[in-house]
Amino acid sequence: MTTILAIHFGIHDSAAALFEDYAMLAAVQRERLVRQKKAGGAPQECIAEVLSIAGLRLENIDAVVFSRAEFTRHLYKTDPLRRIRDLVRGSRETTRDLSTVMVKAGTDNPFDVLNTEGVLRFFGLPSKASVFFSNHHFAHALPSLFYTDWNDALLYTADGAGDNVNYSHRIFKDGEITTLFGDDRWLHKPYRIDSLARAYANVTEALGFRPLHHEGKVTGLAAYGEPSLKSDFQSHFSFDENGLITSDFPNGTVMRDHIMTLCEGCSREDAAASVQEFVEDMILESVGRLMETNQVRKLGLSGGLFANVKLNQRLVESGAVDEIFIVPPMGDEGLVVGGVLQFLLERDGSEGWLDNRYRLEDVYWGRAFGDATGPRLMGFSPKIKKVSDSPVASTAALLNAGKAVAIVSQRMEFGPRALGARTIMASPQRRDINESPVKNSNTVGWHRVSANLK
Ligand SMILES: [Fe+2]
């Protein structure tokens, strides 16, 4: 039995997960612990949290899996004196992306550029622990196959960049995964300006929202607009015969500037509808070509672009897909899950790895607060009451009656979605909903189910 800790230290969505071989013990995003949406940074709190949940200690860890993301500069062999210089100057230590450093150094091997002993020391990890680095898009893709029982599938990932690509295309057939696009063979190729997720983020920024944070607001706004700018987006992007998306923008700055200018003088609703419909059409075509060429009808999706629920709905309704599985932690927080799956795949080989697959029941991988939850919530206000142990029926009735309801159930969820265990809802009829649904509510109910770790 190998105890495996996975760490994603990103500029957003930092997280940690703890496995015993294929068994998930715990996973938590840094945003949940520091209460800052999509928080990046060194996930020290997450490491402490997953160990605490599992009742383990740092010295119990046998293997550590890192995404090839951020590491502080002094941990690079290329800049060993950086820490001293920063201390002398009194400046805050900054980080660098590992894959970018690897590309610059012309190596495929992270150990060539990173002082891994120093990395283990930085995280307080035992020096005996073996160190493994996962590939960004492979780590996105693997959970979309592992948590299924499929015999064949297209595994398609899309995001705003990771390990020098914005997409990966993989076919699973006859017990093997074949990469058509996006593995480390593309690490040293010129970076392609083809990211639809990045174009979506550019529109998010153009509409006055925070890019890589507020894309969901654009998806919501899209329902109220007309796609008047869609043809302009379409004129810059195209496919090759394999469904690989490309654009005619020479670099990301030109693309961003073009999109920012394009959105000027257009209503926010119309700009949102334009990019939404454009992205839906592009991904439907790209996925459709790949599924048809490779004769598969099951589709595994991951990467931040597939947080877009409207896009996913179009894919489900396209008629080209018999079954679709979207990794619930589809953003970079999910790299800690896929990174461990890549480690296990390389350790055990395809056959052993495939034998361990199972269908995911839930993603309740964080802490369960147990019996303390009820008294703690009621302590906030005498108006807060426990109302039921059957959350769905009583929540529906309470919302219908104009009340605000909180559900606290099982362990904390992993990923960007509220999937039934933790949520706060208020009826849209309530006038005070925009102020503070909980504070102004008359009734808060919760439902708690005891959860065992193992
Ligand atoms: Fe990603």
List pLDDT tens digits, range 369-398: 877 777 888 888 888 888 877 788 888 888
Does residue 204 sit within a domain?
yes
**Is residue 290 domain-shared with residue 227, that is, in the same domain?**
yes
CB burial readout 92-119, b (16+ within 10 A) else e: eeebbbbbebbbeeeeeebeebbbbebb
Distance 140 CA to ligand 1 centre (A): 7
pLDDT in tens, 73-94: 889 987 767 667 766 776 677 8
pLDDT in tens, 279-296: 999 999 999 999 999 999
Distance 372 CA to ligand 1 centre (A): 36
**Is residue 110 domain-shared with residue 149, that is, in the same domain?**
no
pLDDT of res. 437: 37
Distance 131 CA to ligand 1 centre (A): 21
Tell me: pLDDT of 221 over 50. yes
* Separation of alpha carbons 11 and 214, rounded Å: 16
Mean pLDDT of 209-226: 95
Distance 19 CA to ligand 1 centre (A): 21
pTM recorded for the entire structure: 0.90
The phi and psi torsions of 162 (rounded to 5 degrees) equal -170, 125
Does residue 272 sit within a domain?
yes
pLDDT of res. 93: 76
Distance 149 CA to ligand 1 centre (A): 24
Structural domain containing residue 119? 3-134
pLDDT of res. 447: 38
Do residues 16 and 47 touch, judged by C-beta distance below 8 A? yes
Tell me: pLDDT of 39 over 80. yes
Distance 399 CA to ligand 1 centre (A): 36
Domain end call among 327, 360, 391: 327
Distance 268 CA to ligand 1 centre (A): 27
**Is residue 167 domain-shared with residue 113, that is, in the same domain?**
no
**Is residue 310 domain-shared with residue 161, that is, in the same domain?**
yes
Distance 177 CA to ligand 1 centre (A): 20
Distance 151 CA to ligand 1 centre (A): 26
Distance 438 CA to ligand 1 centre (A): 34
Distance 41 CA to ligand 1 centre (A): 16
pLDDT of res. 369: 80
pLDDT of res. 302: 98
Distance 81 CA to ligand 1 centre (A): 31
Tell me: pLDDT of 310 over 90. yes
pLDDT of res. 373: 79
pLDDT in tens, 171-203: 999 999 999 999 999 999 999 999 999 999 999
Quote the strand ranges of 85-164, DSSP E. Answer: 95-97, 130-134, 153-162
**Is residue 166 domain-shared with residue 202, that is, in the same domain?**
yes
**Is residue 180 domain-shared with residue 306, that is, in the same domain?**
yes
Find the largest Cα–Cα distance for the chain.
64
Distance 159 CA to ligand 1 centre (A): 5
**Is residue 146 domain-shared with residue 107, that is, in the same domain?**
no
pLDDT in tens, 99-129: 999 999 999 999 999 999 999 999 999 999 9
pLDDT category at 428 given cuts 50, 70, 90 is low
CB burial readout 316-332, b (16+ within 10 A) else e: eebebbeebbbbbbbbb
Tell me: pLDDT of 440 over 70. no
Distance 42 CA to ligand 1 centre (A): 17
Distance 192 CA to ligand 1 centre (A): 15
Tell me: pLDDT of 367 over 80. yes
pLDDT of res. 372: 79
The phi and psi torsions of 16 (rounded to 5 degrees) equal -140, 155
Query: Regarding predicted confidence, which is higher, 223 or 89?
Result: 223
pLDDT of res. 141: 98
* Separation of alpha carbons 374 and 384, rounded Å: 10
Distance 157 CA to ligand 1 centre (A): 8
pLDDT category at 445 given cuts 50, 70, 90 is very low
Distance 390 CA to ligand 1 centre (A): 37
pLDDT of res. 450: 31
Does residue 445 sit within a domain?
no
Distance 247 CA to ligand 1 centre (A): 20
Distance 165 CA to ligand 1 centre (A): 9
Domain end call among 274, 309, 327: 327
Does residue 363 sit within a domain?
no
Query: Regarding predicted confidence, which is higher, 268 or 397?
Result: 268
Query: Regarding predicted confidence, which is higher, 158 or 434?
Result: 158
**Is residue 147 domain-shared with residue 106, that is, in the same domain?**
no
pLDDT of res. 419: 77
Mean pLDDT of 141-157: 98
Mean pLDDT of 256-263: 97
What CATH number has the domain bearing residue 15?
3.30.420
**Is residue 176 domain-shared with residue 47, that is, in the same domain?**
no
Residue 335 structure tokens: 């790299």
Distance 209 CA to ligand 1 centre (A): 20
Distance 166 CA to ligand 1 centre (A): 8
Helix (H) / strand (E) element for 48: namely helix 44-54
pLDDT of res. 279: 98
Distance 136 CA to ligand 1 centre (A): 6
**Is residue 181 domain-shared with residue 66, that is, in the same domain?**
no
pLDDT of res. 80: 66
Distance 331 CA to ligand 1 centre (A): 6
Does residue 454 sit within a domain?
no
Does residue 180 sit within a domain?
yes
pLDDT category at 225 given cuts 50, 70, 90 is very high
What CATH number has the domain bearing residue 183?
3.30.420.40
**Is residue 79 domain-shared with residue 178, that is, in the same domain?**
no
Query: Regarding predicted confidence, which is higher, 424 or 170?
Result: 170
Distance 137 CA to ligand 1 centre (A): 7
pLDDT category at 449 given cuts 50, 70, 90 is very low
CB burial readout 142-169, b (16+ within 10 A) else e: bbbbbbbebeebbbbbbbbbbbbbbbbb
Distance 289 CA to ligand 1 centre (A): 23
Distance 122 CA to ligand 1 centre (A): 24
Distance 245 CA to ligand 1 centre (A): 17
> Quick one: what percent of the chain has pLDDT higher than 70?
92
**Is residue 153 domain-shared with residue 118, that is, in the same domain?**
no
Distance 393 CA to ligand 1 centre (A): 37
Do residues 168 and 287 touch, judged by C-beta distance below 8 A? no
Domain end call among 303, 327, 351: 327
Distance 119 CA to ligand 1 centre (A): 22
Mean pLDDT of 70-75: 92
pLDDT in tens, 343-356: 999 999 999 999 99
Residue 89 structure tokens: 């100057």
- Over the chain, what is the mean pLDDT? 90
**Residue 359 amino acid letter:** R
The domain tally of the chain equals 3
